[in-house]
């Protein structure tokens, strides 16, 4: 990273590759109920406070998503936006963990919040 690079800019595919190589593939069975697919696309995380953080996706499943970004994201509900060449996707996600890795970047993961049930008043 160069001295004048924005510390909050989106991690590049090269950053993602380096981080994934540095942590390696786990030999441990995680007992996940859904197959995870590697997915490296640009994304934006909008926090509950309205902060927008540029990110790259790491993996995705039917139930959740893994991300790579600069700076920490606190656990809680966020909105994730991703775009393909033909359409834009927006998901509500409950970030469950974030962990520091190389070059001031963080990996995080969360599960999709489904719209199946209406929220009950408190």
In tens, the pLDDT along 40-61 reads 788 999 999 999 999 999 898 8
Which residues neighbour 27 within 8 Å (Cβ) at sequence distance 6 or greater?
Answer: none
Q: In this model, does residue 15 exceed pLDDT 90?
A: no
Which domain range does residue 74 map to?
A: 39-112
Residue 118 lies in a domain: no
15 falls within a domain: no
Do the domain assignments include residue 70? Answer: yes
Tell me what the mean pLDDT of segment 20-24 comes to.
59
| Residue 45's CATH number | 2.40.10.220
Task: Quote the percentage of the chain above a pLDDT of 90.
Answer: 40
List C-alpha distances in Å: 37 to 15, 40, 53, 106. 19, 10, 23, 19
Distance from C-alpha of 67 to C-alpha of 45, rounded to nearest angstrom? 9
Cα–Cα dist 30/27, whole Å? 9
Burial class (CB within 10 angstroms; exposed 0-12, middle 13-18, buried 19+) of 116: exposed
Rounded to two decimals, the pTM is: 0.68
Q: Looking at the 3D structure of the chain, how many domains does it have?
A: 1
Greater confidence (13 vs 116) lies with 13
């Amino acid at each position: 990273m160069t001295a004048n690079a924005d510390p909050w800019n989106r991690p590049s595919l090269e950053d993602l590759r380096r981080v994934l190589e540095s942590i390696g593939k786990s030999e441990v069975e995680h007992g996940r109920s859904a197959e995870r697919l590697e997915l490296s696309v640009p994304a934006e995380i909008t926090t509950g406070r309205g902060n927008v953080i540029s990110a790259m996706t790491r993996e995705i499943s039917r139930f959740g998503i893994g991300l790579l970004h600069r700076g920490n994201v606190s656990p809680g509900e966020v909105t994730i936006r991703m775009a393909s060449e033909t359409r834009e996707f927006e998901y509500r996600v409950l970030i469950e963990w974030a962990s520091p890795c190389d070059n001031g970047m963080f990996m995080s993961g969360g599960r999709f919040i489904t719209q199946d049930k209406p929220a009950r008043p408190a």
